[in-house]
């Protein structure tokens, strides 16, 4: 384990798969993360089955050779439960199928801290609760594992009824391949706040930059389809982000871009956003930390998602969507 400025990082040698020996793992939900983590854990030698509703995910799990049990009643089938259904349905599934069934010695593993951190799921103290949260989409978690590397993850121990929670958590992280890259130990709170902050403070600014540039250039007479191509449609921006992960965000500028591009970007970056942006980011952070957002989202869910549905519906008719569809008719962008 590395202690680097108080950040604890665990790698393969720090994690011991023997914590999974003789243990049965039930992966609840066979979607994006469920499929990747179930396959990786099985390939790492763990005894894995899937708990799912009868749907196409259950069929996929069976095709991949897993025994599939109903979620109802699954508490008796395993020692470790990976909660890999969508966050917004986890509370009901937990209440209906696990809350009264889980016993001392069993463990519940989350891939995102939201429900546990905000107290929507409150397992009894004798249950182990930990988090192994990959910082990568499920398909790539699987792809990296198969090629012998791994996607990094955050891990956190919420409660340790058995006294073996930390070891089991690291064993799960190793089983999915995450310790090959390195896992950072954090808290449910930090993972949740960071994740929500990116969604609510960073990406809105990012999205607004696209939308504002689109408006400015469209009003200046540029073809909207060319704008969609220029901003991200060609995949160039995605390549820049990949290079940023490898080389560093500012350092990739120097390595990959022309001097004109470097000068233009670096000289115009200061002042590109106003103090208002920073203030709004700080407000978003506070609203996440004090539970304001969690309450707003729970109220929205109770009301039947009226605002959410309207926002998502708006995407279909947005001028940017029209431009993208038009661009796809003109140019084959899928590699």
Binding site for ligand NDP (CB under 6 A): 29-34, 52-53, 55-57, 71, 84-87, 89, 93, 111-112, 133-134, 137-138
Q: Which residue is nearest to ligand NDP (CB)?
A: 31
Q: Which residues are catalytic?
A: 112
Give the per-residue SS3 of 70-101. Answer: CCCCHHHCCCEEEECCCHHHHHHHHHHHHCCC
Query: What is the distance of C-alpha 63 from the center of its chain?
Result: 25
**Cβ nearer to ligand NDP, comparing 25 with 85:** 85
- Minimum CB–partner distance for residue 43 and ligand NDP (Å): 18
- Minimum CB–partner distance for residue 83 and ligand NDP (Å): 7
- Minimum CB–partner distance for residue 152 and ligand NDP (Å): 11
**Cβ nearer to ligand NDP, comparing 60 with 234:** 60
- Minimum CB–partner distance for residue 61 and ligand NDP (Å): 8
**Cβ nearer to ligand NDP, comparing 31 with 204:** 31
Measured CA to CA in angstroms, residue 243 lies from 88, 203, 250, 251 at distances of: 34, 19, 10, 9
- Minimum CB–partner distance for residue 263 and ligand NDP (Å): 37
Two tokens, residue 26: 């039930």
Name the E strands within the chain.
Answer: 2-4, 7-10, 24-28, 47-51, 68-69, 80-83, 107-110, 128-134, 153-159, 183-185
What one-character DSSP code corresponds to residue 191?
H
CA dist., res. 173 & res. 157, Å (int): 12
Angle, helices 236-247/249-256, rounded to nearest 10 degrees: 110
137 forms bridges with which residues in the sheet?
none
What is 134-177 written as a DSSP string?
Answer: ESS-HHHHHHHHHTT----EEEEEEE-SSS-HHHHHHHHHHHTT
**Cβ nearer to ligand NDP, comparing 93 with 184:** 93
**Cβ nearer to ligand NDP, comparing 250 with 312:** 312
- Minimum CB–partner distance for residue 262 and ligand NDP (Å): 33
Closest C-alpha among 182, 157, 188, 162 to residue 12: 182
**Cβ nearer to ligand NDP, comparing 180 with 225:** 180
Measured CA to CA in angstroms, residue 123 lies from 63, 77, 91, 248, 287 at distances of: 33, 18, 11, 40, 26
């Amino acid at each position: 384990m590395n202690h680097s400025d108080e950040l604890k990082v665990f790698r393969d040698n720090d994690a011991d798969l023997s914590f999974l020996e003789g243990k049965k793992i039930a992966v609840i939900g066979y979607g994006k993360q469920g499929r990747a983590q179930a396959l990786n854990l099985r390939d790492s030698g763990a005894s894995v089955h899937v708990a799912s509703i009868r749907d196409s995910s259950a069929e996929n799990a069976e095709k991949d050779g897993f025994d599939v049990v109903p979620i109802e009643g699954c508490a008796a089938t395993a020692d470790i439960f990976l909660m890999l259904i969508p966050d917004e349905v986890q509370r009901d599934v937990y209440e209906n199928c696990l809350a009264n069934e889980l016993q001392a010695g069993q463990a519940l593993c989350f891939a995102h801290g939201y429900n546990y951190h905000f107290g929507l799921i409150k397992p009894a103290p004798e249950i182990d609760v930990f988090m192994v949260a990959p910082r990568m989409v499920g398909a790539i978690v699987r792809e990296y594992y198969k090629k012998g590397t791994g996607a990094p993850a955050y891990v956190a121990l919420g409660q340790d009824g058995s006294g073996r929670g930390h070891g089991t958590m690291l064993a799960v992280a190793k089983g999915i391949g995450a310790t090959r890259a390195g896992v950072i130990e954090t808290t449910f709170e930090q993972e949740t706040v960071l994740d929500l902050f990116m969604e609510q403070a960073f990406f809105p600014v990012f999205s607004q930059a696209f939308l504002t540039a689109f408006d400015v250039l469209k009003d200046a007479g540029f073809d909207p389809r060319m704008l969609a191509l220029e901003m991200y449609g060609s995949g160039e921006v995605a390549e820049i982000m990949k290079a940023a992960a490898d080389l560093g965000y500012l350092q990739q500028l120097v390595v990959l871009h022309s001097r004109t591009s470097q000068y233009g970007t670096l000289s115009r970056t200061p002042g590109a956003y106003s103090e208002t942006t920073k203030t709004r980011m700080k407000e978003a952070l506070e609203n996440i930390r004090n539970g304001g957002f969690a309450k707003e989202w729970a109220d929205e869910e109770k009301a039947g998602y009226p605002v959410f549905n309207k926002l998502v519906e708006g995407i279909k008719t947005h001028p940017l969507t029209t431009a993208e569809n038009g661009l796809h008719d003109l140019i084959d962008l899928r590699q």
